[in-house]
Structure 1
Amino acid sequence: MAMQLDSYFGSFFLCIFCFSWFLSFPAEAAVRKTLYVSMHWHGLKQFLNGWADGPAYITQCPIKTGHSYTYDFNVTGQRGTLWWHAHILWLRATVYGAIVIMPKEGTMYPFPQPHRETKIILGEWWNSDVETLVNRANKLGIPPPTSDAHTISGKPGPLFPCSSKHTFTMEVEAGKTYLLRIINAALNDELFFSIGGHNMTVVEIDAVYTKPFTTRVILIAPGQTTNVLIKADQPPSRYFMAARPFMDAPVPVDNKTVTGILHYKGIPNTVLPSMPKLPAPNNTNVA
């Protein structure tokens, strides 16, 4: 389950209520489960607010099932694409979302103003309860299983079985420029990301503006954020955006490709999207 949360300059005040229902996608049923969890605000500097950073057993006790906890901190002087996630063991794979701190009012971006902004959150999905999986692996002395799917904003896309209806789609208008705020919330995997037929201009990495450069593919590590500009300058159609892991070591990895769709306005949904050419999983030259 991916949740999204935007923050605009100023204070941040959030109350988390820890509930005892473990939500599962794409299953329709919910299983009652006791959870102990905290929330970490990934990338926030927490000036004089260290107690609100979120790591359980370090800055706070975990939030017990049925209880609530209030995070109160200030984001003044900060800006950019950040994110938040659960911060106990593998529960980080289950609950996460975006934090977008906009520039100070009246301040423009140091690049052309986009027509629209979109958040793209890359994640991993296990069909089983991740805590059960990792606890079983620890008892047996074996590595935990790799994920069953990758996701874009919580959806695995049409390449995953029975998931054609669970596909992230971004509609664009020909000639317009869009800012994508890309977050890798995957638990373990570095991911290549590309959009069929389109260049991406990287303008920000980990909430810091960078000298713009243009590329067909980016590599984004777990916990990292990257902002890119794309211009809808290709023949109006439908194009896959896709991500899959980079791994150059002989260890198991979920090598499945997740896809979303860049959809030009007015194009029928029946048009088959074009697939980008992703690097080989062990391509260190691109990485």
Structure 2
Amino acid sequence: MAMRLDRYLASLFLICFALFQSFPTEAAVKKYQFDIRVKNVSRLCHAKPIVTVNGRFPGPTIYVREGDRVLVNVTNHAQYNMSIHWHGLKQFRNGWADGPAYITQCPIKTGNSYTYDFNVTGQRGTLWWHAHILWLRATVYGAIVIMPKQGMPYPFPQPHGETKIILGEWWNSDIETLVNQANKLGLPPQTSDAHTINGKPGPLFPCSQKHTFAMEVEPGKTYLLRIINAALNDELFFTIAGHNMTVVEIDAVYTKPFTTRVILIAPGQTTNVLVRANQPPGRYFMAARPFMDAPVPVDNKTVTAILQYKGVPNTVVPSMPKLPAPNNTRVALNFNKRLKSLNTPQFPAKVPLKVDRHLFYTIGLGANPCATCQNGTQLTASLNNITFVMPKIGLLQAHYFNIKGVFRTDFPDRPPVQFNYTGAPLTANLGTSLGTRLSKVAFNSTIELVLQDTNLLTVESHPFHLHGFNFFVVGSGVGNFDPSKDPAKFNLVDPPERNTVGVPTGGWTAIRFRADNPGVWFMHCHLELHTMWGLKMAFLVENGKSPEESVIPPPKDLPPC
């Protein structure tokens, strides 16, 4: 039934898309109601109450078209405070709709509502939404599908059908309880008990034969898979037995197409691929498993779903694909190297060639004193040795209304001390400074930011997400960034453009963006564990000279603090 419904919705979507191309219409207003409710859900032989949107896990898909206005009224019936982030939507001048709790808004309290009101401008493709408070995005998440403007075809062959593949994580126990217990000990919570595809772990897990996602295909036809990594803490390899995938889009930006057997996708990222049903009719597993090339524990079990050719009975045992080893750095780095912007006259890569401000941020794990914790210390994380402290009111409100004492604007452009960032592990002097410190940026200035992993405690790969902007990934490497040599190798012609990028284990990534969106914009590691530990900061982008270059006034129903 689920397979038929999914196929019906995808077909209906493609028919509507074709009609939009034939009959141009004005931009529409799309309205959605999100009721935050607790519902009992069973997975892996365990039933537990989870927080959902409209009782669905994953939540509903937002379908819009480039140029549309979107109104999502969120009503909170759960016991937790709530906020929703529309991951990857730029929210031009409109940080009030961005969603991270205590950054651009105070959360929606139990029994209250807030309408996220935003325009989808200059973006098309696959994005997603998720809770942006506590660890609630473990179950509160869903897809955003943005159709191109009417009359605007895809820059790749029109698929026969499409399917969303949302990768997630599942804990048998209540995740908020686990996190609270771990924080009291100063340690990380246990890893998840399973990964999921569209909320389902697949038949390799106990009690999961009925909790298996399947998509039906017809021989010779091509399908678009919209793949989203909604996992909290794991980068994932994804592959399909017997089938190649052609990558055509990342983070709602078209890419130069290339064919691969496996993709790597970090938490927060989206990847659109074309799959041609060109194998002998049968049943084929789609599978995902973590990539982790550092000595850090992960949930290394394999989640599966089924690609099933029409007419093949369910009794046929699916073929299993060969996934890369969990620590296969070569496959991970090679995949990311192949990503390039499409960079055509219609979809240009507007890479900033002149840089107004160079930033260099070190990523570190650490330990701060904690009298009540298990070892007398609490694990922590920092950028430039600063562990970010969340404020009690929204930073955007404090900025807009000029409320003093909430934050400082002295986040340093460089770390306080230079050292051999990726040398032998450093296990002494791991303390960090605490503060709510922002980096103030001039409107329309161009920024180059180098994110450098360090071996404080351990090296590790970190996916970083910047709110309010896309950026260009102009360079990446293993080891310490060399400012005298590495910039000469930057790709300034067709680098990948995205909103979330992985910093390689024991390496660095350089990004560039134009700060043309005024407001307060969060930047953080998209591993929930590290964000909780303080691996985050925010940019305060100043207003421009005109009202059209300034933050718009807040909506009347903005949640009170």
TM-score by length of 1: 0.94
SS at structure 1 position matched to 2:304 = strand
The answer for the alignment partner of 1:184 in structure 2 is 229
The structure number with the bigger radius of gyration is 2
The answer for the alignment partner of 2:64 in structure 1 is 7
The answer for the alignment partner of 1:240 in structure 2 is 285
Point out which structure has higher relative CO (alpha carbons under 8 A, 6+ apart): 1
Task: Write the distance in 2 (CA, Å) between the matches of 1:80 and 1:105.
Answer: 14
> How do residues 4-153 of structure 1 correspond to structure 2 at under 5 angstroms?
4-9=61-66, 10-20=68-78, 34-153=79-198
Q: CA deviation at 1:80?
A: 1.1
Gaps of 5+ in 1: 21-33
**In the alignment, structure 1 residue 219 sits paired with structure 2 residue 264:** yes
The answer for the alignment partner of 2:199 in structure 1 is 154
Q: Give the aligned length.
A: 274
Gaps of 5+ in 2: 1-56, 333-561
Q: How far does the alpha carbon of each residue in 1:76-124 deviate from its partner, in whole angstroms, 9 at most, with x for none?
A: 3221110000001211212000001111111111111100111110000
Q: CA deviation at 1:185?
A: 0.3
Cα RMSD (Å) of the superposition?
0.8
Matched to 1:8, the amino acid is R
4+ residue runs over 4 A deviation:
none
Task: Write the distance in 2 (CA, Å) between the matches of 1:179 and 1:113.
Answer: 9
Task: Write the distance in 1 (CA, Å) between the matches of 2:123 and 2:289.
Answer: 31
The answer for the alignment partner of 2:316 in structure 1 is 271
Q: CA deviation at 1:66?
A: 1.6
SS at structure 2 position matched to 1:16 = strand
Task: Write the distance in 1 (CA, Å) between the matches of 2:63 and 2:138.
Answer: 20
Task: Write the distance in 2 (CA, Å) between the matches of 1:248 and 1:76.
Answer: 38
Q: Percent identity?
A: 82
Task: Write the distance in 1 (CA, Å) between the matches of 2:90 and 2:210.
Answer: 39
- Which structure's residues are more often helix, by fraction? 2
Q: CA deviation at 1:48?
A: 2.0
The answer for the alignment partner of 1:30 in structure 2 is none
**In the alignment, structure 1 residue 199 sits paired with structure 2 residue 244:** yes
Matched to 1:281, the amino acid is P
Task: Write the distance in 1 (CA, Å) between the matches of 2:331 and 2:209.
Answer: 30
Task: Write the distance in 1 (CA, Å) between the matches of 2:83 and 2:174.
Answer: 18
Task: Write the distance in 2 (CA, Å) between the matches of 1:221 and 1:195.
Answer: 18
Matched to 1:59, the amino acid is T
Q: CA deviation at 1:129?
A: 1.4
Task: Write the distance in 2 (CA, Å) between the matches of 1:6 and 1:225.
Answer: 16
